[in-house]
Amino acid sequence: MDDVEAAVSLYRDSYSCLLIDCPPSVQSRQTRQALSCSDIVLIPVLPSPLDLWASVHVEREIERVKAENPAVRPLLVINQLEPRTRLSRLMHEALAEIELPVATTAIGRRMAYRNAMLQGLSVLDTGSAAGSAADEIERLTEELVRLM
């Protein structure tokens, strides 16, 4: 289905939670439609200057969306965090400049995510080898549930 809002309307009454995966740009039509009909918006941000600069555009788009969907709650999620790099260590400080909430849980850059994807599984389904990755996903899920 090409029209995100129509798809959401079609399934909204059948499910308590819908997940919409969007193109990584607030300029895409699908992303704008998803923002306008969503309650919670997870915005992954990589520890890179380009993603930080793009976050400014995301902030502006969220403000625009709030005019038509005042209930929307954005949450920035640091993705592919590498704690040993300087840029990764500075991410929380840099994101504090943006007036959007940041998840407490960051998702690390781990082989477990890639390996799970190759197997067609989530890290929650791959056993103890993905323990740290599974813990991250569970903590992020708990944060989301508290927002609901």
CATH number for the domain that contains residue 64: 3.40.50.300
Residue-level pLDDT at 122: 93
* pLDDT value of position 134: 95
pLDDT score of 22 = 86
Are both 94 and 142 inside the same structural domain? no
**Same-domain pairing of 14 and 42:** yes
Backbone angles phi, psi at 58, to 5 degrees: -65, -45
Find all residues with CB under 8 Å of 102, minimum gap 6, and list them: 75, 76, 77, 78, 92, 95, 96
Is 21 a residue whose pLDDT tops 80?
Answer: yes
**CA 74 to chain CA centroid, nearest Å:** 9
Prediction pTM value: 0.86
Between CA 12 and CA 41 the distance in angstroms is 16
122 lies in the same domain as 63: no
Same domain, 35 and 76: yes
What are the tens digits of pLDDT across the range 80-135? 999 888 888 888 888 888 888 999 999 999 999 999 999 999 999 998 888 999 99
Give the confidence band of 139 by pLDDT, cuts at 50, 70, 90.
very high
On whether both 124 and 85 belong to a single domain, the answer is no
Please indicate, yes or no, whether residues 9 and 22 belong to a single structural domain of this protein.
yes
Count of structural domains, the chain: 2
pLDDT of residue 88: 82
Decide if pLDDT at 1 tops 80.
no
The confidence score (pLDDT) of residue 2 equals 62
Q: At what angle do helices 4-11 and 29-36 cross, to 10 degrees?
A: 40
Domain residues for 51? 4-109
Q: Residue 92: its pLDDT value, please?
A: 81
**What is the mean predicted confidence (pLDDT) over 49-55?**
80
- Tens-place pLDDT, residues 60-78: 888 988 998 898 999 999 9
